[in-house]
Chains A and B, each alone.
Chain A
Amino acid sequence: MTAPLLSARGIQIRFGGVIAADGIDLDIFDRENLAIIGPNGAGKTTFLNITTGYLKPQGGSVTLNGREILGTPPRRITRMGVARAFQIPQLFTEHTVLENMLLSAAVRERIWNPLRPLSRIRQRAEMLDLLDLVGCADIADRLASELPEGQRKLVDIAIALAQRPKLLLMDEPTSGVATADKFGIMEILIKALREAQVASVFVEHDMEMVSRYASRVAVWSQGKIQMTGTPDVVMKDPDVIRTVIGG
């Protein structure tokens, strides 16, 4: 097997009496789509917060391509290739979709001139291509605040992809989206990730979503990883069915 992209070892964190991570070991590989499942309070979101630098664990290590990233501030981790989309997409609502994208590109390119108009940032074509990738090229000039939830999610993903990440972390990518649209949105998302050659980790509660779109599943339970494996194996495991899927 190839060397992992991101590698977590022995992650320990507790909040008061609650143990949110109790020796988490996990490798994430290039271009895979890893789903994290598990009951509420098992520490799934905590894990995303640690790997993106928003939380510092009390013990353990996280390496990205072999380099330790614990203790690195979130925006440096972003630059190193780990992007994040949020559970509630927070777009910059007074700007258009394209302006949101251009801002993301300008930050990536470290454009120094603070007075440069957003409309004159050179990555315009590249950003339109990215919007096209998530099926949102036609709404480039709309205000981000006017978009329906599903499109906001996709634009949020495009903003993250504008950072050219190697790994994208998502917390319930389709939460808040009407059930009828969920699969369509996830379909576009997974296809975009594949084309952009980005690996992803997503926390998900919908088991059908997991079995359709994950290439691998990690089951969280009380701050530990109960098991990892392909969806068809994990979803048939009697322990997993009892503790997570319910039945």
Chain B
Amino acid sequence: MTTTLALIALLDGISYASLLFLVAVGLTLIFGVLGVLNVAHGSLYAIGAYMAATLGGWLTAQGYNPWLTFPALMAAAILTGVVVGGLMERFLLRQIYEKDPTLQLLITFAVFMVLENVQRMVWGVQPYFMSEPLRALGNIELLGIRYTAYQIVFLPVMAILTMVGLRYFLRHTLAGAKIVAVTEDREAATSIGIDARKVYFVTFVIGACLAAMGGALATPTTSVLPGMGANMIVLSFAVAATAGLGNIEGALLAALLIGVARSFAVYIMPETEVLMPYLIMVLILLWRPMGLFGAVQARKI
């Protein structure tokens, strides 16, 4: 493998890891606070991508400035997170918080299957593309390699901003303090007048928006197709488990580890591409059963 190829693999990995992180951190936040492993998180990723492609495609067809596709990506993510995520929490998750984890897994998996078919009904099976954001930002040259600025600057910056923003939000703002309080002791939080149901709702919507943002931001880099949600949910489970479920900073490192390893696999041994994330997860879990940063019975977010 030449240095150039290695560098390309590294850049591919970083760009992919940024998207992976956005989805995985949403999953891990929801698990940390609500205690539910939400398989339908993958649907939110896919629907976010379809919404972004639709909205961006419409803007482009109307002849608007390509820079407008950036706010369109954000709008698609927030719309999907709030509407689809909000409905999901209100009418489904709320009914199963007290239930057996196996049942929760089965029910959210069922929702995932239903939504997968809803996507086929609404958007069909043909792929969607939207390259305007990619072209708007242009290319940059890095050690003799030309790479899109969208993938190697914009996406990592978004991932880091998300991590810093989420940490600040949880640690320093009023809403964040309520979320931490409900996570640590729901009963005691209720006893000072915090509405735990509202906190659960808000947390779920934030997590859903993160998944949808991952999908929306992925749209310019990939074709939007049926099945993309399944791919992503499986990978983000691997990231969240590798990091230790509920761990935010750990998710960034685990996403980077898995994203980069996966892209090296693509160049060196393509047949191991699908296997690689699980191989890493298994190795790390054998070494540290609670994940890289997980601790037994420690804080959850």
Contact surface of A with B, Cβ cutoff 8 Å: 52, 54, 74-75, 78-79, 83-84, 86, 90-95, 99, 103-104, 106-108, 111, 113-119, 121, 159-160, 162-163
Contacts and interface: CB of A to CB of B under 8 A. Distances in A.
B140 interface: no
10 contacts: A74-B191, A75-B191, A84-B191, A90-B187, A94-B171, A94-B184, A103-B178, A114-B174, A114-B202, A116-B173
A155 to B, nearest CB: 12
Contact of A92 (B172, B175, B181, B202): B181
Nearest to A121: B174
Nearest to B177: A103
B193 A107 contact: yes
A115 B191 contact: no
B180 A107 contact: no
Given A92-B184, A93-B184, A75 B177 contact: no
A117 B190 CA distance: 21
Give the one of B180, B192, B194 with max A CB within 10 A: B192
Contacts of A113: 174
Contacts of A92: 177, 180-181, 184-185, 189
Interface of B: 169, 171-175, 177-178, 180-181, 184-185, 187-195, 202, 299
B193 A86 contact: no
B260 to A, nearest CB: 31
B185 A104 contact: no
B192 A104 contact: yes
A99 B194 contact: no
Contacts of A84: 191
Nearest to B169: A115
A129 to B, nearest CB: 18
Given A94-B299, A118-B172, A107 B190 contact: no
Contacts of B178: 103, 107
A227 to B, nearest CB: 30
B192 A163 contact: yes
A147 to B, nearest CB: 15
Nearest to A54: B187
Closest 3 CB pairs of A and B: A114-B175, A90-B185, A90-B188
A118 B192 CA distance: 16
A117 B187 CA distance: 24
A156 to B, nearest CB: 8
Contact of A159 (B169, B184, B190, B192): B192
Contacts of A94: 171, 180, 184, 299
Given A90-B188, A94-B299, A117 B181 contact: no
Contacts of A107: 178, 192-194
Give the one of A52, A78, A107 with max B CB within 10 A: A107
A163 B193 contact: yes
A126 to B, nearest CB: 15
Contacts of A90: 184-185, 187-188
Contacts of B181: 92, 103
A118 B188 CA distance: 19
Contact of A75 (B174, B184, B194, B299): B194
A180 B299 CA distance: 32
A59 B17 CA distance: 58
A95 B192 contact: no
A103 B191 contact: no
Contacts of A162: 192
Contacts of A74: 190-191
Contacts of A106: 174, 177
Given A75-B194, A107-B193, A115 B187 contact: no
Nearest to B195: A75
Nearest to A99: B177
B191 A52 contact: yes
Contacts of B177: 92, 95, 99, 103, 106, 118
A131 to B, nearest CB: 15
A115 B172 CA distance: 9
Given A90-B188, A95-B177, A116-B173, 4 more contacts: A78-B192, A90-B187, A99-B177, A107-B194
Contact of A79 (B173, B193, B299): B193
